Chain A
Amino acid sequence: MRKWIHRGLKGLSLTTALFVFQACYGTPMTAPEEDYLAAPETEVVDEALQDAAQSGELLQEGVEEIAE
């Protein structure tokens, strides 16, 4: 029962849904993967994506989406 309540509460977290926070000595939060891949391209990023695609370490469909 406690486990289900806990899981329910996990779904109710507002911190990341509504209130973006940043640790006092940390960086801003990164964008979610899909937003990151959908961000505007620059020459640098274009090369970055190609490099990442070649290494197979970014989501392939996301890279293809950018290429389109």
Chain B
Amino acid sequence: MIGRLLHRAFRANETAVHELNYLFWECTTRCNLHCRHCGSDCFAASRDVDMPLEDFLRAFDTIPAAERAHPFTVILTGGEPLLRPDIADIGKALRGRGVGWSIVSNGWFYDEAMHRKLMAAGLGALTISLDGLEEAHDWMRGRAGSYARAERAIALAAAEPRLAFDVVTCVNKRNFQELDALHDRLEALGVKQWRIFTIIPIGRAAEDPEMHLSDAEFTALMEFIVRKRREGGKMKVTFSCEGYLGRYENQVRDVPYFCHAGVNIASVLIDGHICACPNIDRDAFSQGNIYEDSLYEVWEKRFQPFRDRSWTRRGRCAGCKVWRDCLGNGMHNWHGDCAEVLNCHYGKILNKTV
């Protein structure tokens, strides 16, 4: 109980301070794959034009140097960021401002030449998505050969000491049974950090039953992570910070659940909208636009819905006994009219999904 109270105090202080440490840039919505779980509904020929680097930098430069003196990372996301021909220029421009940058990628274009180019541009961190062994991954990604390309990228990144690197896996009904084999494969590739998450029912995944674990499967996933963490080994397995997990809180992650969206995290979206994480409902929660507003001013003055979560005490959260620790789960679980939380991890563990 004392630990929970201390964590609540810590969270309240961090929210009051709201140090900006993590800035997503949705630099493209073009993608070479067609993933079944895509929350962005990205396509090869996106309707959105890639945001010019100069536009992003103009917004970025509104952030005072003192704020950027704290640990600060710009995360290029998409779409597939490596489709941008100016990806290295972006990295160099950020390093030129003394800021670390990173990429979330499907790995398709990440060959040795790309690795060298990105390292030369100061890439500091990388996440590659791998959603199972070959058959399950290629099914999920909608393109044959995706697994082989991702594995090549993983091998290159895992051997690079300058990169903070992890692999992220979206667990679904197809890859659920092969997690042990996938674990062993990743460990053999030299991966040190493996992060697991589950799907939010948005985008293409909303109507796909194969994407969603049952309550029993979700609890079994927690047990799998607990087991792997107890076994030790060269690779650390964690569950992503996507929701409050009740009794599993201290067993599947290094730190207790805390949705940092809007507290330490902001996003510049493809059309210039300013939000917290890119997977949050942008229609409901965007707080401004870089083409009309100062990014930093919006961060300082308009992010109240992310920093005061009292509005989430509604629907099934209204009478929940763990609300003070959960605060309505991750912000990405509130969409549309926000009448009800989309996903309750705590409820899954109690086998009480509505």
Answer yes or no: are A and B bound together in one complex. yes
Question: What residues make up the interface of A, taking CB atoms closer than 8 Å to B?
Answer: 9-10, 12-16, 19-33, 36, 39-40, 42, 44-45, 47-48, 51-52, 55, 57-59
- A15→B256 CA distance, assembly (Å): 12
Interface set of B (CB-CB < 8 Å, partner A): 10, 13-14, 16-17, 19, 21-22, 24, 70-71, 73, 75, 77, 92-93, 95-96, 98, 100-104, 115-116, 119-122, 124-127, 159-162, 164-166, 168, 193, 195, 197, 240-242, 254-255, 258, 260-261, 264-265, 277-279, 330, 332
Q: Are A33 and B100 in contact (CB under 8 A)?
A: yes
Given the known inter-chain contacts A14-B10, A36-B122, please indicate yes or no for A26 contacting B19, CB distance below 8 A.
no
Measured in the bound complex, the distance between the Cα atoms of B327 and A28 in whole Å is 24
Q: Which 3 A-B pairs have the closest CB atoms?
A: A30-B100, A30-B124, A27-B102
Residues in chain A near residue B278, CB distance under 8 A? 25
Cα A19 to Cα B6 in complex, Å, equals: 14
Query: Can you list 10 A-B contacts (CB < 8 A)?
Result: A9-B16, A13-B17, A21-B22, A30-B100, A39-B162, A42-B159, A42-B160, A45-B160, A48-B120, A59-B98
- The total number of A-B Cβ pairs within 8 Å is 157
Which residues from A are CB-within-8-Å of B95? 52, 57-58
* Chain A min CB distance to B102 (Å): 4
Evaluate contact between A57 and B96: CB separation under 8 angstroms.
yes
> When the two chains form the complex, which single residue of A13, A33, A52 contacts B19, counting CB atoms closer than 8 Å?
A13
A29 with B330, Cβ < 8 A, contacts A24-B197, A48-B120 known? no
What CA separation (Å) do A39 and B195 show in the bound complex? 23
